[in-house]
Structure 1
Amino acid sequence: MISIKELTKVFHTKDQDVTAVDHLDLNIQSGEIYGVIGYSGAGKSTFIRLLNRLEDPTSGSVTIDKQEITSMNKNDLRLARQEIGMIFQHFNLLWSRTVKDNIAFPLEIAKMPKEKREARVKELVELVGLKGRENAYPSQLSGGQKQRVGIARALANKPKVLLCDEATSALDPETTDSILDLLVDINEKLGLTIILITHEMHVIRKICHRVAVMENGKVVEQGDVLDVFLHPKRPVTKKFVDQVMGDPDQDHSLDLIHENYKSGKVLRLHFVGESTNQALISELSREFKIDLNILHGKITQTQKGAYGTLFVHVEGDQDEIERAQAYIQDTSVEVEVIPNVQ
C-alpha cells in the first residue's frame, strides 16, 4: 500500500544543515494502523508531512497505492492529496464556520454538488458522533469534539490513507481514549490505512498493529507492537515501553521478596496473547503437591493480544517444584527463576 524508500529531508540554514529524516525505509500494509513513535526532535512530524508533500523531500521516494507522490507535478499532487486525509494536534478548524461547514469545506474545494455534499456531511457527522452539534462553532466545542470535526473533515473525500500528527496530544486521557476508539472504529468500518505519529506509547499500545521507533531522523526499531513491547532492543524503545509497562512497585516488591522468602522458589511468569487467559495457577495447584502464593503482577492489552508478568512463590519438595516448573515451560508461558531466593 505505502512504500517509503531512502526518504531524506535536510533543512538548510545559514549556519548548518539539519537532517530531520535520514534515509528512512518503511512498508505499510493496506488497512493497518501503523504507529511511528519518537521523542521531540526525532523527525516524526517532518516524516508525516513528507508523505503528502506538505514538505518536499531532499531525496528518496514515497509511493501510495502505486502512485509515486514524490515525483508528481502540482496538479497531479492536488488530486492525489484528496486520497490522503490528515488530522492535526491543534485541530486547524475554521473558527468562523460551523461543524457542518468545516466538514463540507474540502467537498466545496472538490466542487461536489450541494445535494451530495450535504448528504456526505450528514453521514460523516453521524460517523464521528457529533449528531446534534452540526450548527455549533468550534469555540462552543470541547477538545474531543473539535478533533472529531477534524477527523470528519479529513474523511470527507473518502481517502485511502489517514495521517494523524500527534492527534491526541492536546487531549486529556479520557478524551484521548475516546478518539483512539473512534480511529479503530473508522479503520474497521472503512478499511482505512492509518499512520499515527505520537510520543505516547499508550497510544501505540491501544490501537496500532505495527510500530516504528524513530531517533535522530532514523527508524531504529520496527515490528509488530506485541513483539516490540516484549523484546525491545534499543534503549529508546525500552524507555517507551516503560511508559506503559514500567511498574514503580516492582523493585520494592522484589526487595520484599528477597527479604521475606528464604526457601522455595520465586518464579516470574511471562504471559503472552492467549496464555493470559490460561488458568495456570489453578492447574499447578491441582497437578502438583506445592503451595503457591501470588506476589505481584501486571497485564497489559495491545491490538495483537495481552501480555503481562506474574511473580509467584512456590513452596514444596524440590523435585515437585522442578516438575511444576517444567510443566510451565511446556506451555506458552515463559518462566524465569528470580535469583537469591533460597
Structure 2
Amino acid sequence: MITISDVKKIFQTKNGTVSAVDGVDMTIKDGEIFGVIGYSGAGKSTLIRMLNGLELPTDGSVDVNGQVISKAKGRKLREARQSMGMIFQHFNLLWSRTVLENIQFPLEIAGVPRGERIRKANELLHLVGLEGRGDAYPAQLSGGQKQRVGIARALANDPKVLLCDEATSALDPQTTDSILDLLVDINERLGLTIVLITHEMHVIRKICHRVAVMEAGKVVEEGDVLEVFRNPRQEVTKRFVKEVAQQQESDDILDQYPDGKVLKLTFVGSGTDQPLITSLIRRFDLEVNILQGQISQTQKGAFGTLFIHLKGEREILDQAVAFAEEQSVKVEVMER
C-alpha cells in the first residue's frame, strides 16, 4: 500500500541546513493501522506530510497505492490526494460553515452534485456518531465532536488511506479514547489503511498494529506493537514504553527490598492469564510480595509487567526463578 524508500528531507534555514528526515525506509500494509511515534523534532510530522505531497522529499521516493507521490504534479497529484484523507490536531474546520457543510466541502471542490453531497455527508454523520448535529457550527461543539467532524470530512472522498497528524493531542484522555475507538471501527468497517503520528505511547498501544519509532530524523526501531512493548531495544523506545507502564525506577524498588530477589515479569498474550504467583507460592517455601504491575490491551493481545519480591533460602530462590523462566513469561532478575 505505502512504500517509503530512502527518503530524506533537508530544509535550508538562516542557521544552516536541517535534516528533518534522514534515510527512512518503511512499508505500510494495506488495511493496517500504522503508528509513527517520536518526541518533538523527531521528523514524524515532516514524514507524514510527504505521504500526501504537502512536502516533497529532497531525495528518495514515496509510493502510495501505486502512485509515486514524490514525483506527481498538477492533476495527478490532486487525484492522488483524493485517495487520502487527513485529520489534524487542531481540527482545521471552517468556522462559518455548519457541520454538514464542513463535511461536504471536499465533495464540493470535487464537483459532486449537491444532492449527492448531502446524502454522503449525512451517511458520514451517522458513521462518526453525530446524528442530529448537522446544522450546528464548530463553535457549538466539544473538542471530541469537532474531531469527529474532521474525521467525517476526511472520509468524504472515500479515501484508501487516512493520515492522522497528532489527531488526539488536543483532547482529554476520555475523549482521546473515544476517538481512537472510532478510528478502529472505521478501520474494521471500511478496510481503511490508517497512518498516525503521535508522541503518546498510549495511542500506539491502544489501536496500532505496527509502530515505527523516530529519533533525529531516523527510524530507530520498528515492529509489531506487542513485540516492541515486550522487547524495546532503543533507549527512546524504552522511555515511551515506560510512560505507559508507569513503573517505578528499578533502583528505587531494589533499595526498598535489599533481601531476596526482585523479579520483573513480562507477560504477553495468553501469558497474562497464567496463575504464576499462585504456582510459586504453592510449589516453593517462599514469601512472595507483589510490588507493582499493570496489564494493557493492544490490537494483538495483552501486554503486562509485574514486579515481585521473593524471600527465602538461596537454593529455593534459584529453583523458583528457574520455574518462572519455564513458563510463557519473560523473567528478569533485577540486579543491585
Could you state the TM-score of these two structures normalised by the residue count of structure 2? Answer: 0.93
Return 5+ residue gaps in structure 1 as ranges. Answer: none
Matched, 1:230 2:226: no
Matched, 1:25 2:25: yes
Contact 1:34 1:209 survives alignment (8 Å): yes
Contact 1:94 1:102 survives alignment (8 Å): yes
Taking the aligned partners of 1:173 and 1:147, their CA distance within structure 2 comes to 14
Structure 2 counterparts to residues 170-181 of structure 1, below 5 A: 170-181=170-181
Matched, 1:279 2:275: yes
Q: 1:313 to 1:72 in 2, by over 3 A?
A: closer
Q: Deviations over 1:42-89 (max 9, x none)?
A: 111111111110112222111111221122231011111111000111
Q: Which residue of structure 2 aligns with residue 306 of structure 1?
A: 302
Q: Which residue of structure 1 aligns with residue 10 of structure 2?
A: 10
Matched, 1:269 2:265: yes
Q: 1:98, CA displacement in angstroms?
A: 0.4
Letter of the 1:270 counterpart = T
Q: Which residue of structure 1 aligns with residue 150 of structure 2?
A: 150
Size of the aligned set, in residue pairs, is 336
Contact 1:130 1:145 survives alignment (8 Å): yes
Pick from 300, 322, 329 the counterpart of residue 326 of structure 1.
Answer: 322
What SS does structure 2 have at the residue aligned with 1:152?
helix
Q: Deviations over 1:75-127 (max 9, x none)?
A: 01111111100011111111111001100111111222223222211110011
Q: Deviations over 1:229-253 (max 9, x none)?
A: 2222222222222221242376544
Contact 2:8 2:23 survives alignment (8 Å): yes
Structure 2 counterparts to residues 79-94 of structure 1, below 5 A: 79-94=79-94
Q: 1:289, CA displacement in angstroms?
A: 4.8
Q: 1:172, CA displacement in angstroms?
A: 1.3
Taking the aligned partners of 1:112 and 1:237, their CA distance within structure 2 comes to 45
Taking the aligned partners of 1:310 and 1:91, their CA distance within structure 2 comes to 39
Taking the aligned partners of 1:265 and 1:13, their CA distance within structure 2 comes to 54
Letter of the 2:265 counterpart = L
Taking the aligned partners of 2:203 and 2:40, their CA distance within structure 1 comes to 16
What SS does structure 2 have at the residue aligned with 1:184?
helix
Q: Which residue of structure 1 aligns with residue 106 of structure 2?
A: 106
Q: 1:43 to 1:339 in 2, by over 3 A?
A: closer
RMSD between aligned residues: 2.0
What SS does structure 1 have at the residue aligned with 2:61?
strand
Q: 1:122 to 1:193 in 2, by over 3 A?
A: same
Contact 1:38 1:213 survives alignment (8 Å): yes
Contact 1:253 1:296 survives alignment (8 Å): no
Taking the aligned partners of 2:301 and 2:206, their CA distance within structure 1 comes to 10
Contact 1:250 1:296 survives alignment (8 Å): no
Q: 1:144, CA displacement in angstroms?
A: 0.8
Q: 1:168, CA displacement in angstroms?
A: 0.9
Name the stretch that deviates more: 14-23 or 311-320: 311-320
Name the stretch that deviates more: 299-308 or 38-47: 299-308
Contact 1:33 1:187 survives alignment (8 Å): yes
Q: Which residue of structure 2 aligns with residue 60 of structure 1?
A: 60
Q: Which residue of structure 2 aligns with residue 135 of structure 1?
A: 135
Matched, 1:296 2:288: no
Taking the aligned partners of 1:73 and 1:176, their CA distance within structure 2 comes to 36
Contact 1:266 1:337 survives alignment (8 Å): yes
What SS does structure 2 have at the residue aligned with 1:71?
coil
- What percent identity do the matched residue pairs reach? 64
Taking the aligned partners of 1:304 and 1:242, their CA distance within structure 2 comes to 19
Q: 1:336 to 1:184 in 2, by over 3 A?
A: same
Return 5+ residue gaps in structure 2 as ranges. Answer: none
Taking the aligned partners of 2:15 and 2:123, their CA distance within structure 1 comes to 51
Letter of the 1:301 counterpart = Q
Matched, 1:202 2:202: yes
Letter of the 1:47 counterpart = L
